[in-house]
Structure 1
Amino acid sequence: MAVGLDCYLCQLVVGLLVHSCLDAAGAGLGAVGAGRTVAALACQLLVLSFANQVLLTMAVRASAGKLIMGLRVIRLPDAGRPGFRRLVLRWLYGLFWLPLQPWYRLRGARPGGERPVERPGRCPVEGPEDLAGVRQVRHSDLRYYRAATAGRTG
C-alpha cells in the first residue's frame, strides 16, 4: 500500500511540474517537443523517486508513502538505520527487479531456473528479507522493540 502511495505521489508531483512547464512553453508541441517532454518526465520521475526512496529514507527512515502509512525502514538484523549503499541497492531492486516478478510468477520459475519452494497448500515460500537487507516495519512495533531491548540491556 505504501509503495502505491509513493508511486502516486511521485507521479502527481512530476505531472504538476511537467504541466506547468508545458504551460510556460506554449501550447504548440511538435514531435521534438513531445520527445523532450517525455524525456523530461522520465528524468524527473527518476530523480524524484531517488530523492523519496533514498534521501528521504536516510533522513527520516521512511519515504513519503511510508510516513503517511506509519511505517519505517530498518536494517536487518539489528533494526538500525540503513546506510546510503543499502538504500540505493533497495531503490534499484525496486526499480528494475520487482516489476518483473509477475512475469516470473506467471511462468512458474525463478530467474535462476529453479522452481519456487512450496508449502503444503501449494503457496510459495518467500525469503525473510529483500536484496539489500532492509525491511519496513510499523513505527509502533519499532518503538516497542527498542523499549524491550533497552529494558533487557539496562
Structure 2
Amino acid sequence: MRRYLAVGLDCYLCLVTGGLLVRPYADSASVPQVVGLLIGPVLVLSFLNQVVLTAVVGAGAGKLIMGIRVVSLPDVRRPGPGRLTRRWLYGLCWLPLQPWYGLRARLAGAGGGGGPGPRPACEEAAARTDPAGLRQVRRSDLAAHRRAVAGRAGPRTTGSP
C-alpha cells in the first residue's frame, strides 16, 4: 500500500508543480495549448524526481515522504542513473497501459481460464521488482539489512553447545 501512496504522491506533486508553472500562460491559451504546455514541465519534473533525486538521495519525493528507498538488486545499493532512466521510461510506457491489462485479465478470467485466487509466491516476487532490476523497500528494513550484513545485528545464539 505504501508503494502506491508514494507513486500517487509523486504524480500529484509533479502535476501540481507543473500546473503552477503553466498557470500564468493558461488564461491566454486554448485547452489543447495548455495541455501541450503542461506536458513538458510534468515530464521534466518527473525525470528530476524519479531519476536525479533518486540517484542523489535514494528515493523520489513521494517515496521519501512514505519512508521508502529504491535499491538495486542483488547488491542492495543505490542504483545508477542508467538503471533509473530505464525504470522511468518503463514507467511512462507501463502506467498508461494498466487499464488495458486489467480489462484483458478480466476478460480472460471470465472465459474460465485462471479464476481469481491467491497468486503463487514467484508471481508476488516478480510483481515487486521491475525490469531494471530495482526494488522499493522500507527505509527501516534497509537499515536492518545493512546492520545484519555488517555484523552489527547483535549476538546470535546457536543451538549447539
* Structure 1 vs Structure 2 CA RMSD: 2.5
Shift of 1:47: 0.5
- What is the TM-score of this pair, normalised by structure 2? 0.76
2:83 corresponds to which residue? Answer: 86
Distance 1:78 1:28, change over 3 A: closer
CA drift at 1:81: 1.1
Question: 1:62-84: per-residue Cα shift (whole Å, max 9, x none)?
Answer: 00000110111000011011011
Show structure 1 runs of 4+ deviating over 6 A. Answer: none
Q: 91-100 vs 70-79, which deviates more?
A: 91-100
Gaps of 5+ in 2: 107-113, 153-161
- Structure 1 partner of 2:157: none
The whole-number CA distance in structure 2 between the counterparts of 1:17 and 1:120 is 44
**What do residues 25-71 of structure 1 show as CA deviations (whole Å, max 9, x unaligned)?**
xx444x5xx54432221101100100000000001000000011011
Q: Find 1:57's aligned residue among 54, 69, 85.
A: 54
- Equivalent residue pairs, number: 138
AA at the equivalent of 1:98: L
Partner residue in 1 for 2:13: 9
| SS at structure 2 position matched to 1:62 | coil
Residue 115 of structure 1: aligned partner? none
Residue 143 of structure 1: aligned partner: 143
Letter aligned with residue 8 of structure 2? G
Code of the aligned partner of 2:44: V
The residue matched to 2:96 in structure 1 has which SS? helix
Task: Give the aligned residue type for 2:47.
Answer: F
2:36 equivalent among 39, 58, 73: 39
Q: Distance in 2 between matches of 1:119 and 1:136?
A: 29
Length-normalised TM-score, structure 1 = 0.79
